[in-house]
């Protein structure tokens, strides 16, 4: 048995969620290879060769892979996949885009967003916005899987010593091209990596009012998130969205402010270790999942909370 | 240009689903069913493209039991021109659905398929990408803006870090994300008109697709419940609890 994990790259190198996918590969067992596809990937490959559990790093260096276009990356993964029993990727927007294409090219039914590995062909995955957990057994010869990061603790960045080997590029499929990116710039931690998240909902009333949450987040070293309602209303960009179809997070502390708690939002955050809810409506469903609920006016409570934390810290 | 839009009949997004006690699945009897919300967005986009003169015909496809015809009628009432029901009582997995869509695309030769990025029942997020792979077409997933320009389309995608824009060759499979548009409500006259629009009926077998599942569902269980519901009096008490009880700050 051998497992191929597809790495995702950003401007800083291999993204952390790749190491969560590697943890799922470790749970499956066997020899683990990590595929790094991109342009000028030497530094990333060198760093990844030290990841715990990886025995070989495969590199595919080609401009065709530089921006992660699904058509090109999928052909590459397909060209390698038949040597493996499992092919895994983190369930990020990159993984979710590429992997089903790989699965169909191989005539395999993908298993999406697994949160547990029972054995080499049996996996647990949430369905219905996490309101049910399905245990599924795959009959396909190759298991194609996306891994939900919150289900697996990332493998260590050091401790391994994998060999690095270049593989042949499959080139540009000529179907799509990259035009540009508008990435949200922030000094705060990335949502899916943050230990603490302060999230705002429709109750925030406007984008300007999110500055209250930002002040609190900065005091806590936290990331800022949002419910779908806040994103739809244009208060914050789309990449802030936590929920069934947005980002799934499980920080140590999740502070939900002015969020009522629709099941679609709960789906994205209910595995957080500690949940705090601040809402003026004491009947809001968010309180039913909150370890600590505080009923009241967020515009009064949030500045008070920020001040109180500043005071206690000093 | 023709546009093909698959529409899935799912448990309504407002319904709190209940897991069956025998672990075989979730309760679907006497539960309100609706069109998958992402598919509504897809239909809306296709209809707007028709209204803008970019598209000549919008075809709504549903794969499911006889009742899936109601979901097609909803799409027709929103402005789709005709429907195709791929009738089956089997629960088709995304790969089999993609094979049905490929067979229909081969026949209808649309310039674009607009597919919901995810169905809110199985949360797979696979069908669009798989269909693109089987057709050998480009794919533009998680779209928030679609601009057709000659034999290409420029699509803005919602990605983890923000937004990304790509240019794709037509024909293409686009999958719709939440911010693509706000779907309309069908008006009563349009609901009446929709009843006269044609719906063809076929089956996976007629399309040459094997409906047998590849994944065996061994068990469906409820997730562990959170013991929430505790309230605190004020900010000072909250900070106390977070520092001394939960020890998270």
Look up residue B15 and give its two tokens. 């319904």
If contacts are CB pairs under 8 Å, which of residues 31-90 in chain B contact chain A? Answer: 38
Residue B147 neighbours by CB distance under 10 Å? 12
* Closest residue of chain A to B244, computed from CA coordinates: A312
User: Best mutation site among B25, B41, B125 for testing chain A: the one with the most A CBs within 10 Å?
Assistant: B125
Q: CA-based diameter of chain B, in Å?
A: 68
Cα separation, A268 vs A234, in Å, equals: 20
Q: How many CB pairs under 8 A join A and B?
A: 263
Cα separation, B90 vs A104, in Å, equals: 20
Cα separation, A298 vs B16, in Å, equals: 28
A243: nearest Cα among A193, A199, A293, A309: A199
Bin A289: left if φ > 0, else alpha if -120 < ψ < 50, else beta: alpha
Which residues in chain A are contacts of B234 at CB distance < 8 A?
A: 294
If contacts are CB pairs under 8 Å, which of residues 25-64 in chain A contact chain B? Answer: none
Which residues in chain A are contacts of B243 at CB distance < 8 A?
A: 312
Only one residue has tokens 């986009």, namely B45
A172: nearest Cα among B134, B126, B143, B138: B138
A184 in contact with chain B, both atoms CB, cutoff 8 A: yes
| CATH fold for domain B2-244 | Rossmann fold (3.40.50)
If contacts are CB pairs under 8 Å, which of residues 208-227 in chain A contact chain B? Answer: 220
Cα separation, A176 vs B137, in Å, equals: 9
Give me the long-range contacts of B43-46 (CB less than 8 A, separation at least 24): B43/B5, B43/B7, B43/B75, B43/B78, B43/B79, B43/B80, B43/B114, B43/B183, B44/B78, B44/B180, B44/B181, B44/B182, B44/B183, B44/B184, B45/B114, B45/B146, B45/B176, B45/B180, B45/B181, B46/B3, B46/B5, B46/B80, B46/B112, B46/B114
B55-88: pLDDT as tens digits: 999 999 999 999 999 999 999 999 999 999 999 9
> Å from B77 to nearest chain A CA?
25
Cα separation, B81 vs B37, in Å, equals: 20
B129-186: pLDDT as tens digits: 999 999 999 999 999 999 999 999 999 999 999 999 999 999 999 999 999 999 999 9
B121: nearest Cα among A236, A296, A126: A126
ipTM attached to this prediction: 0.97
> Å from B198 to nearest chain A CA?
31
Asked whether the beta carbons of A292 and B238 are under 8 A apart, the reply is yes
Average pLDDT, chain A: 97
A132: nearest Cα among A144, A150, A115: A115
Look up residue B93 and give its two tokens. 């997995």
HSE toward the beta carbon, residue A261, CA cutoff 13 A: 25
> Å from B171 to nearest chain A CA?
10
A229-284: pLDDT as tens digits: 999 999 999 999 999 999 999 999 999 999 999 999 999 999 999 999 999 999 99
Give ∠ CA B126-B131-B137 in degrees, rounded to 5: 125
A89-133: pLDDT as tens digits: 999 999 999 999 999 999 999 999 999 999 999 999 999 999 999
Cβ of B125 within 8 Å of Cβ of A96? The answer is yes
Q: Pairing between strand B162-169 and A176-183? A: antiparallel
pLDDT recorded at residue A314:
84
A253 in contact with chain B, both atoms CB, cutoff 8 A: yes
A48-73: pLDDT as tens digits: 999 999 999 999 999 999 999 999 99
Cα separation, A165 vs A167, in Å, equals: 7
B29-55: pLDDT as tens digits: 999 999 999 999 999 999 999 999 999
Look up residue A1 and give its two tokens. 């048995």
pTM: 0.96
User: Best mutation site among B214, B225, B230 for testing chain A: the one with the most A CBs within 10 Å?
Assistant: B214
Determine the straight-line distance between the first and last CA of chain A, rounded to whole angstroms.
55
User: Best mutation site among B11, B36, B225, B248 for testing chain A: the one with the most A CBs within 10 Å?
Assistant: B248
Which residues in chain A are contacts of B166 at CB distance < 8 A?
A: 69, 176-179
A16-49: pLDDT as tens digits: 999 999 999 999 999 999 999 999 999 999 999 9
Average pLDDT, chain B: 97
Cα separation, A273 vs B242, in Å, equals: 12
A127-159: pLDDT as tens digits: 999 999 999 999 999 999 999 999 999 999 999
3-state SS assignment for residue B231: strand
Cα separation, B220 vs B23, in Å, equals: 5
pLDDT recorded at residue A1:
87
- DSSP letter (8 states) at residue A242: B
> Å from A137 to nearest chain B CA?
5
Q: What is the mean pLDDT of residues B211-220?
A: 97
B16 in contact with chain A, both atoms CB, cutoff 8 A: yes
| Length reported for chain A | 314
**Position B229 pLDDT exceeds 90:** no
A287 in contact with chain B, both atoms CB, cutoff 8 A: yes
Could you please report the per-residue DSSP string of A116-165?
Answer: EEEETTEEEEEEGGGTEEEEEEE-SSSEEEEE-GGGSPPPPSSS---EEE
Cβ of B162 within 8 Å of Cβ of A238? The answer is yes
Q: Pairing between strand A122-127 and A132-138? A: antiparallel
Cα separation, A105 vs B132, in Å, equals: 10
Instruction: Give chain A's count of helices (H) and strands (E).
Output: 8, 18
Beta bridge partners of B112: B3, B172
Among the partner-chain residues A103, A136, A179, the one whose CB lies closest to the CB of B218 is: A136
A243 in contact with chain B, both atoms CB, cutoff 8 A: no
The sign of the dihedral angle between the CA atoms of B17, B22, B24, B30 is negative
> Å from A57 to nearest chain B CA?
25
> Å from A161 to nearest chain B CA?
30
> Å from A303 to nearest chain B CA?
10
Asked whether the beta carbons of B157 and B165 are under 8 A apart, the reply is yes
User: Best mutation site among A12, A100, A222 for testing chain B: the one with the most B CBs within 10 Å?
Assistant: A100
Look up residue B229 and give its two tokens. 């519901």
Share of chain B above pLDDT 90, in %: 98
pLDDT recorded at residue A313:
86
What are the φ and ψ backbone dihedral angles of B96, each rounded to 5 degrees?
-70, -35
Asked whether the beta carbons of A128 and B121 are under 8 A apart, the reply is yes
Cβ of A128 within 8 Å of Cβ of B17? The answer is yes
Cβ of A70 within 8 Å of Cβ of B122? The answer is no
Determine the straight-line distance between the first and last CA of chain B, rounded to whole angstroms.
57
Among the partner-chain residues A135, A179, A237, the one whose CB lies closest to the CB of B166 is: A179
If contacts are CB pairs under 8 Å, which of residues 172-191 in chain B contact chain A? Answer: 177-179
Which residues in chain B are contacts of A282 at CB distance < 8 A?
A: 231
> Å from B73 to nearest chain A CA?
24
A175 in contact with chain B, both atoms CB, cutoff 8 A: yes
Only one residue has tokens 């091209």, namely A177
Look up residue B137 and give its two tokens. 């077409």
Cβ of B232 within 8 Å of Cβ of A177? The answer is no
B192 in contact with chain A, both atoms CB, cutoff 8 A: no
A304: nearest Cα among B223, B235, B50: B235
């Amino acid at each position: 048995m051998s497992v191929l994990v597809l790495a995702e790259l950003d401007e800083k190198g291999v993204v952390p969620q790749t190491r969560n996918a590697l943890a799922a590969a470790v749970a499956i067992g066997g020899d683990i290879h990590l595929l790094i596809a991109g342009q000028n990937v030497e530094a990333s490959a060198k760093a990844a060769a030290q990841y715990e559990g990886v025995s070989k790093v495969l590199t595919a260096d080609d401009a065709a892979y530089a921006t992660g276009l699904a058509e090109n990356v999928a052909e590459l993964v397909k060209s390698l996949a038949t040597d493996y029993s499992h092919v895994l990727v983190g369930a990020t927007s990159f993984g979710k885009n590429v992997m089903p294409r790989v699965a169909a090219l191989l005539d395999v039914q993908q298993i999406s967003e697994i949160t547990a590995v029972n054995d080499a062909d049996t996996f647990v995955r949430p369905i219905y916005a996490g309101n049910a957990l399905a245990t599924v057994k795959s009959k396909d010869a190759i298991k194609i899987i996306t891994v939900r990061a919150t289900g697996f603790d990332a493998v260590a960045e050091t401790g391994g010593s994998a060999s690095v080997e270049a593989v042949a590029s499959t080139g540009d499929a000529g179907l799509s091209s990259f035009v540009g990116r508008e990435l949200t710039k922030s000094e705060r931690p990335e949502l899916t990596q943050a230990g603490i998240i302060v999230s705002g909902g429709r109750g925030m009333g406007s984008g300007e009012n999110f500055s209250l949450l930002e002040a609190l987040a900065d005091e806590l070293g936290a990331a800022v998130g949002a419910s779908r309602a806040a994103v739809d209303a244009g208060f914050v960009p789309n990449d802030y969205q936590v929920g069934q179809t947005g980002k799934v997070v499980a920080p140590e502390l999740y502070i939900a402010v002015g969020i009522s708690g629709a099941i679609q939002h709960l789906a994205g955050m209910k595995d957080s270790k500690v949940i705090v809810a601040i809402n003026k409506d004491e009947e809001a469903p968010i309180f039913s999942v909150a370890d600590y609920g505080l009923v009241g006016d967020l515009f009064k409570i949030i500045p008070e909370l920020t001040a109180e934390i500043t005071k206690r810290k000093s | 240009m023709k546009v093909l839009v698959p529409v899935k009949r799912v448990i309504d997004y407002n319904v709190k689903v209940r897991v069956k006690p025998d672990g075989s699945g979730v309760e679907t009897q006497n539960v309100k069913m609706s069109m998958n919300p992402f598919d509504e967005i897809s239909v809306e986009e296709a209809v707007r493209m028709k209204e803008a003169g970019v598209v000549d015909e919008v075809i709504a496809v549903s794969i499911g039991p006889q009742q899936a015809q109601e979901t097609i009628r909803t799409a027709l009432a929103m402005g789709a021109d005709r429907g195709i029901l791929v009738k089956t009582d089997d629960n088709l997995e995304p790969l089999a659905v993609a094979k049905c869509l490929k067979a229909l695309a081969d026949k209808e030769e649309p310039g674009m398929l607009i597919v919901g990025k995810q169905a809110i029942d199985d949360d797979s997020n696979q069908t669009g990408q798989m269909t693109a792979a089987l057709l050998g077409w480009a794919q533009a997933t998680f779209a928030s803006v679609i601009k057709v320009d000659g034999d290409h389309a420029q699509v803005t995608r919602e990605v983890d870090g923000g937004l990304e824009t790509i240019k794709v060759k037509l024909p293409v499979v686009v999958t719709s994300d939440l911010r693509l548009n706000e779907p309309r409500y069908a008006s009563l006259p349009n609901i009446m008109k929709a009843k006269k629009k044609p719906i063809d009926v076929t089956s996976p077998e007629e399309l040459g697709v094997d409906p047998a599942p590849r994944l065996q569902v061994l068990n469906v269980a409820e997730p562990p419940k959170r013991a929430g519901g505790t309230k605190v009096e004020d900010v000072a008490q909250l900070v106390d609890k977070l520092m001394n009880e939960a020890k998270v700050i």
